[in-house]
Amino acid sequence: MPYKETGWSDLAAQVGRALLARKGASLLKAARLLVEEKTTDRGLDGKLQRGTYSFSLFLELMSVLGADAPPQWQSILSLKDTSYAMKAKFILLRELTNLGLDRDEFLRRLRDEHIEPPRNDSADRTMEDGTFSMILMLQLAALAYVEGMERFVDTSDLIRAALQSAKKEK
């Protein structure tokens, strides 16, 4: 599927690049530190520039760069012998549970707000196996407060992306 730039992909791109900048990490250093997400600095740059990376990659970048995680994610991120994809899944489920939502209700509420989840993420598979995009996590934070997300993205930017998404749909 060809890449399509959206307000959400722009926001994900900003969040990913900002994490590297905050931690003073080059693309080369970050790519070399990654264990699960085998990539080159050019591959990582492309994903971050397009905003088309997974939430699990974001979690791995946070970990290898020593970024502070929201408090409610720390116990999940400290799990040994657990992939970042599974950690992403557990974090998503934790946040949905805290909001009183299941996956279907979450997707329905996104659509009710005229926020279209990325095509691949609207299938249960990506949420079940933890390979969903960073965009989906940003959309969750736009839909309802996710404690600690303000470490990575301003609420006003989430609202702006949601409004852009709603305008395009109407």
Contact assessment for residue 56 and residue 88, using Cβ atoms and an 8 Å cutoff? yes
Residue 74 lies in a domain: yes
Residue 157 lies in a domain: yes
Check residue 2 and give its pLDDT. Answer: 41
Structural domains counted in the chain: 1
What letters, b where the CB count within 10 A reaches 16 and e where it falls short, cover 38-49?
A: ebeeeebbebbe
Check residue 168 and give its pLDDT. Answer: 66
Distance CA 59, CA 67 (A): 9
Comparing CA positions, the residue from 84, 78, 40 lying closest to residue 61 is: 84
Residue 2 lies in a domain: no
Residue 117 lies in a domain: yes
Instruction: Give the orientation angle of helix 155-169 with respect to helix 7-22, to 10 degrees.
Output: 160
Global model pTM greater than 0.75 = yes
Residue 1 lies in a domain: no
pLDDT tens track, the chain, 170 positions:
344 567 899 999 999 999 999 999 999 999 999 988 888 889 999 999 999 899 999 999 999 999 999 999 999 999 999 999 999 999 999 999 999 999 999 999 998 988 888 877 666 788 889 999 999 999 999 999 999 999 999 999 999 999 887 776 55
The boundaries of the domain holding residue 101 are: 7-169
